[in-house]
Amino acid sequence: MLREGLIYLSENRLARGFVTHAPGARTMARRFVAGEHLEEGVDVARNLNRAGMKVTLDCLGESVRNRDEARAAADVYIRLIRRIVDEQLDANVSLKMTQMGQDIDEAFLHENLKRVLDLAASNDMFVRFDMESSAYTQRTLDFFRRLWGEGYRNIGVVIQSYLKRSAADIGQLNAEGVRVRLCKGAYKEPASVAFQDKADVDANYVTLMQMLLKDGNYPGIATHDEKMIQATKEYARNIGKSVKDFEFQMLYGVRRDLQQQLVAQGYNVRIYVPFGEAWYPYLMRRMAERPANLFFIINSVLKESPLRFLAGK
């Protein structure tokens, strides 16, 4: 019921108009999205750098099926890369292949994406390809390897621990020297391809994290789960890895207390900072894909709120 309601709200134009103009809606969204414009993303990145954190900037958008829109998305990334360079920010960028034309055709995707990758490479900047639903996993990895085979080494991918195929994928990516960002995954997937129980997802996350720390190339351990963070710290110490051999990655606005703690402990911390006009459908679809995300975010906000002490938490 909740999932269907969120999907309806994400697609309903009247609901979008109401929510985006409702008092406090944008303020709440700004907790998790830097703003609608590139400059707002850059401002947030600058402030996070001052706080000792690295940044990944992401212009929101996905499932683009119009060539002009896909080209416009690439143009935003070109401007973004130039601003990062001009500002000398400790930041890179993250994008979705469907945003660049993956659902149009691969020749167009290659042409459009190449403009972004060439500029990034010329400025020694890393580009991460986000992973979407399991319907895109193999397609994304195949196209990534095409680019890797063309000599691009400033690129990396995301692997999701709830997919049953991920151990095999990470084994191959480690052998190829690819930088991997490990996350749990937030899409609703069938039991045929994904673990359904949280305990199984978590157990696989630990297994994959260990594979990445042992044999990977500067992995990004993306989690807000304190148990996963502690498991990562302990395994890194056990195998003699330095705190600078990997980085923790977290979402902008989620568990800011943990972000600050990790920085104080000397760990590399990178914050994923989304921006763009698509903030409303982005947030609503994330909630619809897995309604547990809604409660997770609420819980994360409460955990770092001073009010938790009043409740004896």
Q: How do residues 3-29 score in pLDDT, each as one tens digit?
A: 455 444 444 555 455 454 555 555 666
Is the model's pLDDT at 309 over the cut of 50? no
How far apart are alpha carbons 106 and 136 in whole angstroms? Answer: 13
Beta-carbon neighbour count of residue 285 at 10 Å?
19
Looking at the annotation, which residues are catalytic? Answer: 130, 181
How far apart are alpha carbons 280 and 14 in whole angstroms? Answer: 12
Per-residue confidence (pLDDT) for residue 10, from 0 to 100 = 44
Token pair, residue 161, equals: 């621990």
18 vs 41, residue with greater confidence? 41
Mean pLDDT of the chain: 88
How far apart are alpha carbons 61 and 209 in whole angstroms? Answer: 28
> What is the pTM assigned to this prediction?
0.87
- List the beta bridge partners of residue 179: 156
CATH topology of domain 2-303: TIM Barrel (3.20.20)
- Domain regions of the chain by residue span: 2-303
186 vs 208, residue with greater confidence? 208
Over residues 100-125, the pLDDT tens digits come to 999 999 999 999 999 999 999 999 99
| Max Cα distance, the chain (Å) | 58
- List the beta bridge partners of residue 29: none
